[in-house]
A and B are shown apart, each in its own frame.
Chain A
Amino acid sequence: MSAAAFIVIAIFTLAGAIAAATMPRLIHAALSLVLAFIGIAAFYFLLGAEFVGLVQIFVYVGAVAVLIVFTILLTRRGQEDTRGFSWGGVVVAIAVFCGLVWAILHTRVSDAAPQIDPLTVKRIGEVLMTNYVWPLQCVGLLLTAALIGALILVAEEKR
Protein backbone atom coordinates (compact mmCIF):
# COMPACT_ATOMS: atom_id res chain seq x y z
CA MET A 1 0.00 0.00 0.00
CA SER A 2 1.67 3.19 -1.08
CA ALA A 3 0.88 6.54 0.46
CA ALA A 4 0.82 8.43 -2.84
CA ALA A 5 -1.83 6.15 -4.34
CA PHE A 6 -3.86 6.42 -1.16
CA ILE A 7 -3.80 10.22 -1.17
CA VAL A 8 -4.74 10.46 -4.84
CA ILE A 9 -7.64 8.00 -4.45
CA ALA A 10 -8.81 9.68 -1.23
CA ILE A 11 -8.96 13.13 -2.87
CA PHE A 12 -10.75 11.63 -5.90
CA THR A 13 -13.31 9.79 -3.77
CA LEU A 14 -14.03 12.62 -1.35
CA ALA A 15 -14.35 15.14 -4.19
CA GLY A 16 -16.81 12.82 -5.97
CA ALA A 17 -18.81 12.31 -2.79
CA ILE A 18 -18.95 16.01 -1.93
CA ALA A 19 -20.00 16.82 -5.49
CA ALA A 20 -22.70 14.12 -5.31
CA ALA A 21 -24.03 15.63 -2.07
CA THR A 22 -23.98 19.30 -3.07
CA MET A 23 -24.44 19.57 -6.86
CA PRO A 24 -27.60 21.50 -7.70
CA ARG A 25 -28.44 19.41 -10.78
CA LEU A 26 -29.54 15.86 -10.09
CA ILE A 27 -27.90 14.30 -13.14
CA HIS A 28 -24.54 15.85 -12.27
CA ALA A 29 -24.86 14.48 -8.76
CA ALA A 30 -25.56 10.99 -10.13
CA LEU A 31 -22.45 11.11 -12.32
CA SER A 32 -20.33 12.37 -9.40
CA LEU A 33 -21.68 9.48 -7.37
CA VAL A 34 -20.22 7.14 -10.00
CA LEU A 35 -16.82 8.80 -9.45
CA ALA A 36 -17.10 8.27 -5.70
CA PHE A 37 -18.03 4.60 -6.17
CA ILE A 38 -15.08 4.02 -8.51
CA GLY A 39 -12.82 5.60 -5.87
CA ILE A 40 -14.22 3.29 -3.20
CA ALA A 41 -13.58 0.30 -5.48
CA ALA A 42 -9.99 1.53 -5.84
CA PHE A 43 -9.72 1.48 -2.03
CA TYR A 44 -10.75 -2.17 -2.06
CA PHE A 45 -8.03 -2.91 -4.60
CA LEU A 46 -5.54 -1.04 -2.43
CA LEU A 47 -6.60 -3.06 0.61
CA GLY A 48 -6.09 -6.35 -1.25
CA ALA A 49 -9.77 -7.28 -1.66
CA GLU A 50 -9.87 -7.35 -5.45
CA PHE A 51 -13.08 -9.36 -5.65
CA VAL A 52 -15.00 -6.86 -3.51
CA GLY A 53 -13.68 -4.05 -5.70
CA LEU A 54 -14.95 -5.79 -8.81
CA VAL A 55 -18.33 -6.50 -7.20
CA GLN A 56 -18.50 -2.83 -6.17
CA ILE A 57 -17.91 -1.70 -9.75
CA PHE A 58 -20.40 -4.22 -11.20
CA VAL A 59 -23.17 -3.55 -8.70
CA TYR A 60 -22.81 0.16 -7.91
CA VAL A 61 -21.46 1.57 -11.15
CA GLY A 62 -23.19 -0.95 -13.39
CA ALA A 63 -26.57 -1.31 -11.72
CA VAL A 64 -27.29 1.28 -9.03
CA ALA A 65 -26.01 4.27 -11.00
CA VAL A 66 -27.98 3.25 -14.08
CA LEU A 67 -31.10 2.79 -11.91
CA ILE A 68 -30.64 6.28 -10.47
CA VAL A 69 -30.20 7.80 -13.93
CA PHE A 70 -33.34 6.03 -15.16
CA THR A 71 -35.32 7.25 -12.17
CA ILE A 72 -34.16 10.82 -12.83
CA LEU A 73 -35.30 10.40 -16.42
CA LEU A 74 -38.70 9.04 -15.39
CA THR A 75 -39.44 11.68 -12.74
CA ARG A 76 -38.33 14.74 -14.64
CA ARG A 77 -41.55 16.02 -16.18
CA GLY A 78 -43.13 18.97 -14.40
CA GLN A 79 -40.20 19.17 -12.01
CA GLU A 80 -40.25 22.34 -9.97
CA ASP A 81 -37.14 23.79 -8.45
CA THR A 82 -35.98 21.37 -5.79
CA ARG A 83 -32.75 23.07 -4.89
CA GLY A 84 -33.68 23.51 -1.27
CA PHE A 85 -30.72 22.99 1.01
CA SER A 86 -31.05 23.13 4.77
CA TRP A 87 -28.05 24.14 6.83
CA GLY A 88 -29.20 22.07 9.80
CA GLY A 89 -28.03 18.98 7.96
CA VAL A 90 -24.56 20.47 7.54
CA VAL A 91 -24.31 21.15 11.27
CA VAL A 92 -25.46 17.63 12.15
CA ALA A 93 -23.04 16.04 9.64
CA ILE A 94 -20.06 18.03 10.95
CA ALA A 95 -20.99 17.19 14.54
CA VAL A 96 -21.24 13.47 13.70
CA PHE A 97 -17.90 13.63 11.89
CA CYS A 98 -16.21 15.26 14.88
CA GLY A 99 -17.70 12.64 17.19
CA LEU A 100 -16.55 9.78 14.97
CA VAL A 101 -13.01 11.18 14.62
CA TRP A 102 -12.81 11.69 18.36
CA ALA A 103 -13.88 8.06 18.92
CA ILE A 104 -11.41 6.75 16.30
CA LEU A 105 -8.49 8.69 17.71
CA HIS A 106 -9.25 7.53 21.24
CA THR A 107 -9.44 3.85 20.29
CA ARG A 108 -6.34 1.70 20.30
CA VAL A 109 -6.20 -0.26 17.06
CA SER A 110 -3.44 -2.37 15.60
CA ASP A 111 -1.95 -0.31 12.83
CA ALA A 112 0.44 -2.92 11.47
CA ALA A 113 -0.96 -4.67 8.43
CA PRO A 114 0.06 -8.32 8.51
CA GLN A 115 1.47 -9.95 5.42
CA ILE A 116 -1.27 -11.91 3.70
CA ASP A 117 -1.59 -14.33 0.85
CA PRO A 118 -3.72 -12.81 -1.89
CA LEU A 119 -7.39 -13.55 -1.32
CA THR A 120 -8.41 -15.60 -4.34
CA VAL A 121 -11.91 -15.92 -5.74
CA LYS A 122 -11.60 -19.67 -5.18
CA ARG A 123 -11.15 -19.13 -1.44
CA ILE A 124 -14.11 -16.72 -1.31
CA GLY A 125 -16.26 -19.22 -3.20
CA GLU A 126 -15.28 -22.01 -0.83
CA VAL A 127 -16.13 -19.94 2.23
CA LEU A 128 -19.42 -18.75 0.71
CA MET A 129 -20.45 -22.30 -0.07
CA THR A 130 -19.48 -23.80 3.30
CA ASN A 131 -19.55 -21.43 6.28
CA TYR A 132 -21.87 -18.82 4.80
CA VAL A 133 -24.27 -20.91 2.76
CA TRP A 134 -27.35 -19.92 4.79
CA PRO A 135 -26.66 -16.18 4.62
CA LEU A 136 -26.10 -16.67 0.89
CA GLN A 137 -29.53 -18.28 0.51
CA CYS A 138 -31.12 -15.51 2.57
CA VAL A 139 -29.55 -12.86 0.35
CA GLY A 140 -30.89 -14.70 -2.70
CA LEU A 141 -34.36 -14.68 -1.16
CA LEU A 142 -34.02 -11.00 -0.27
CA LEU A 143 -32.99 -10.08 -3.80
CA THR A 144 -35.93 -12.03 -5.25
CA ALA A 145 -38.34 -10.33 -2.84
CA ALA A 146 -36.85 -6.91 -3.66
CA LEU A 147 -37.19 -7.59 -7.39
CA ILE A 148 -40.85 -8.62 -7.05
CA GLY A 149 -41.57 -5.73 -4.68
CA ALA A 150 -40.03 -3.18 -7.03
CA LEU A 151 -42.04 -4.58 -9.94
CA ILE A 152 -45.29 -4.42 -7.94
CA LEU A 153 -44.55 -0.86 -6.81
CA VAL A 154 -43.96 0.51 -10.28
CA ALA A 155 -46.55 -1.56 -12.16
CA GLU A 156 -49.31 0.51 -13.74
CA GLU A 157 -52.52 0.43 -11.71
CA LYS A 158 -55.53 -1.16 -13.31
CA ARG A 159 -58.26 1.29 -14.24
Chain B
Amino acid sequence: MTPTLTIFLILSAALFCIGLLAALSRRHAIFILIGIDLMLAAANVNFVAFWRFSPEPAQPTGVIVAIFSIAIAAAEAAVGLALVIAVYRHYRTTNVDKLNQLKG
Protein backbone atom coordinates (compact mmCIF):
# COMPACT_ATOMS: atom_id res chain seq x y z
CA MET B 1 0.00 0.00 0.00
CA THR B 2 1.34 3.41 -0.91
CA PRO B 3 0.32 6.64 0.82
CA THR B 4 -2.66 8.25 -0.86
CA LEU B 5 -3.62 11.89 -1.20
CA THR B 6 -6.17 11.53 1.60
CA ILE B 7 -3.49 10.44 4.06
CA PHE B 8 -1.28 13.39 3.13
CA LEU B 9 -4.21 15.77 3.56
CA ILE B 10 -5.05 14.33 6.99
CA LEU B 11 -1.41 14.58 8.03
CA SER B 12 -1.17 18.22 6.99
CA ALA B 13 -4.48 18.91 8.77
CA ALA B 14 -2.94 17.43 11.92
CA LEU B 15 0.16 19.62 11.51
CA PHE B 16 -2.05 22.67 10.96
CA CYS B 17 -4.04 21.96 14.11
CA ILE B 18 -0.89 21.48 16.18
CA GLY B 19 0.26 24.89 14.92
CA LEU B 20 -3.17 26.34 15.77
CA LEU B 21 -2.89 24.83 19.24
CA ALA B 22 0.49 26.49 19.76
CA ALA B 23 -0.75 29.83 18.44
CA LEU B 24 -3.93 29.84 20.51
CA SER B 25 -2.97 28.33 23.83
CA ARG B 26 0.54 29.58 24.56
CA ARG B 27 1.07 32.96 26.17
CA HIS B 28 4.59 33.59 24.90
CA ALA B 29 4.96 35.61 21.68
CA ILE B 30 7.67 33.35 20.25
CA PHE B 31 5.46 30.29 20.74
CA ILE B 32 2.75 32.06 18.74
CA LEU B 33 5.22 32.65 15.91
CA ILE B 34 6.28 28.99 16.05
CA GLY B 35 2.63 28.01 15.68
CA ILE B 36 2.14 30.31 12.70
CA ASP B 37 5.24 28.85 11.03
CA LEU B 38 3.91 25.32 11.56
CA MET B 39 0.58 26.28 10.00
CA LEU B 40 2.30 27.76 6.93
CA ALA B 41 4.44 24.64 6.53
CA ALA B 42 1.33 22.44 6.72
CA ALA B 43 -0.26 24.46 3.93
CA ASN B 44 2.88 23.92 1.84
CA VAL B 45 2.62 20.16 2.30
CA ASN B 46 -0.88 20.42 0.86
CA PHE B 47 0.34 22.33 -2.20
CA VAL B 48 3.03 19.77 -3.00
CA ALA B 49 0.72 16.80 -2.34
CA PHE B 50 -1.95 18.21 -4.65
CA TRP B 51 0.71 18.74 -7.33
CA ARG B 52 1.95 15.15 -7.01
CA PHE B 53 -1.53 13.62 -7.26
CA SER B 54 -2.89 15.99 -9.89
CA PRO B 55 -3.75 14.63 -13.35
CA GLU B 56 -1.13 16.92 -14.95
CA PRO B 57 2.05 16.74 -12.88
CA ALA B 58 4.13 18.00 -15.82
CA GLN B 59 2.95 21.52 -14.93
CA PRO B 60 4.82 22.34 -11.69
CA THR B 61 2.37 24.96 -10.39
CA GLY B 62 2.03 23.48 -6.91
CA VAL B 63 5.80 23.32 -6.48
CA ILE B 64 6.23 26.95 -7.57
CA VAL B 65 3.51 28.12 -5.19
CA ALA B 66 5.17 26.17 -2.37
CA ILE B 67 8.51 27.87 -3.10
CA PHE B 68 6.89 31.33 -3.07
CA SER B 69 5.07 30.43 0.12
CA ILE B 70 8.34 29.43 1.81
CA ALA B 71 9.87 32.78 0.79
CA ILE B 72 6.88 34.65 2.26
CA ALA B 73 7.11 32.58 5.45
CA ALA B 74 10.75 33.64 5.79
CA ALA B 75 9.76 37.30 5.47
CA GLU B 76 6.97 36.77 8.02
CA ALA B 77 9.34 35.16 10.51
CA ALA B 78 11.91 37.95 10.15
CA VAL B 79 9.37 40.74 10.70
CA GLY B 80 7.56 38.85 13.46
CA LEU B 81 10.70 38.19 15.45
CA ALA B 82 11.82 41.81 14.97
CA LEU B 83 8.45 42.85 16.41
CA VAL B 84 8.98 40.53 19.38
CA ILE B 85 12.37 42.15 20.07
CA ALA B 86 10.90 45.66 19.72
CA VAL B 87 8.04 44.80 22.09
CA TYR B 88 10.48 43.27 24.55
CA ARG B 89 12.53 46.48 24.57
CA HIS B 90 9.50 48.56 25.49
CA TYR B 91 7.75 46.32 27.99
CA ARG B 92 10.51 43.98 29.26
CA THR B 93 8.19 41.04 28.67
CA THR B 94 7.10 38.82 25.81
CA ASN B 95 3.97 37.51 27.51
CA VAL B 96 1.10 38.58 25.27
CA ASP B 97 -1.33 38.72 28.20
CA LYS B 98 0.69 41.54 29.74
CA LEU B 99 0.55 43.68 26.58
CA ASN B 100 -2.86 45.11 27.35
CA GLN B 101 -2.35 48.86 27.15
CA LEU B 102 -4.79 49.28 24.27
CA LYS B 103 -7.57 47.81 26.39
CA GLY B 104 -10.14 50.46 27.27
Q: Which residues of A contact B (CB under 8 A)?
A: 1-3, 6, 10, 13-14, 17-18, 20-22, 26, 29-30, 33, 36-37, 40, 43-44, 46-49, 51-52, 55-56, 59-60, 63-64, 67-68, 70-72, 74-75, 78-80, 82, 84-90, 92-94, 96-97, 100-101, 104-105, 109-114, 116-117, 119, 123-124, 127-128, 132, 135, 139, 142-143, 145-147, 149-151, 153-154
Contact = CB atoms under 8 A, between A and B. Distances in A.
A80 B98 CA distance: 11
B81 A89 contact: no
A139 B68 contact: yes
A117 B59 CA distance: 11
A93 B21 contact: yes
A111 B8 CA distance: 10
Nearest to A94: B17
Interface residues of B, number: 74
Contacts of A154: 82, 85-86
Given A20-B22, A154-B82, A110 B49 contact: no
19 contacts: A1-B2, A20-B38, A21-B19, A21-B26, A47-B8, A59-B71, A68-B77, A68-B81, A82-B28, A89-B21, A93-B25, A97-B17, A100-B10, A101-B13, A114-B57, A116-B58, A139-B68, A146-B76, A150-B82
B54 to A, nearest CB: 8
B4, B10, B11, B25, most chain A CB atoms within 10 A: B25
Given A1-B2, A88-B25, A104-B6, A97 B84 contact: no
Contact of A49 (B51, B77, B82, B93): B51
Interface in B38-52: 38, 41, 44-45, 48-49, 51-52
Contacts of A71: 30, 81, 84-85
Given A64-B73, A84-B95, A89-B25, A135 B20 contact: no
Contacts of B33: 68
Given A51-B63, A67-B77, A68-B77, A100 B82 contact: no
Contacts of B93: 78-80
